[in-house]
Amino acid sequence: MKKYIALAVVFWFLIPNATNAQLVNKTNLRFSVISPSSSFGSMSGFNRKALNDAVANPGEGDGGLRPFESFDTRTGFGIDLGNIFYINNTTLPENMGIGIDASFLNLNWVRVNNRGLHTNGDEFEFNNHFVTYQLRVGALYTYSPVPDIHFDAVFRWAPTAGMLLGGYNENPAGANRAKDRHLGFGYGLTRFNTGAYVRYNVLTLGFEWDFGGSVFSTRSTDMGSWYSSNVPLNSIRFIFGFNFVRKERAVGRR
């Protein structure tokens, strides 16, 4: 009997509190640890084009390099600064809210360890560094069971601009060990980001899934042309951050 009384007391406190939950506009500062997909940064399409060009035009193309068909992705890091804006006068219960999640500063860095083959069959490894910048805007849903605790779900359009930089020894061991470097620029207009967060007071924890298409144009120092190819950039992101009140105005029915 005492257990039932205790549960009743708990619900008695929770229910009134839920009806007084305040959903207010916030500024978010989020930090992310990025776990790339197994195909993140794949340059196999780029290399197939370079090899075909080398066959059709001797002396051009890949400089004797064979495709980078194997990839070991590494963890990356990101930072995001944005805002959430709630829509007033909705018909939702007062402890729920819908709005817009938008950020204009989202920077990410991921290192990918690639393996390739020289013309004599020797395997070698090198790193590619991917830096991306995103604009994010999309829909937000929030549920606040008690004050200071908020559960958020978001789905955002995330157009992306990117750059890659890498370098490797273009010749096998024992030969002229000239350093070859390559540079790439890319974009993705059909990229999206979805996430789920829990906010307690000013702290935020959550995860995101970043996915969609992207195209990079890449050129190395021994190639005579730029080569374009789809480059996967999908990743899971684990989020830790802070949120700050923008405007002390409740939304929903009050």
Residue 167's CATH number: 2.40.160.20
Q: How confident is residue 254, by pLDDT bands cut at 50, 70 and 90?
A: very low
Q: Is residue 214 part of a domain?
A: yes
Whether this prediction's pTM lies above 0.85 is answered by no
In a domain, 254, yes or no: no
**Rounded-to-integer distance, Cα 155 and Cα 159, Å:** 13
204 and 28 Cβ atoms separated by less than 8 Å:
yes
Please check the confidence at residue 89 and state whether its pLDDT lies above 50.
yes
Torsion of CA 190, 235, 74, 230, to 10 degrees: -30
Q: Which residues pair with 107 in a beta bridge?
A: 79, 133
Q: How confident is the model at residue 125 (pLDDT cuts 50, 70, 90)?
A: confident
Instruction: Give domain status of residue 252, yes or no.
Output: no
Query: Is position 53 within any domain?
Result: yes
Look over the chain and give the mean of its residue pLDDT values, rounded to a whole number: 79
Domain that holds residue 31: 2-247
User: Does the residue 9 lie in any domain?
Assistant: yes
pLDDT, residue 34, reads: 97
**Residue 13: per-residue pLDDT:** 41
Within-domain flag for 165:
yes
- The answer to whether position 80 is within a domain reads yes
How many domains are there within the chain? 1
* Closest to 126 measured CA to CA, from 115, 110, 142, 137: 115
In a domain, 253, yes or no: no
Average pLDDT (222-249) is 81
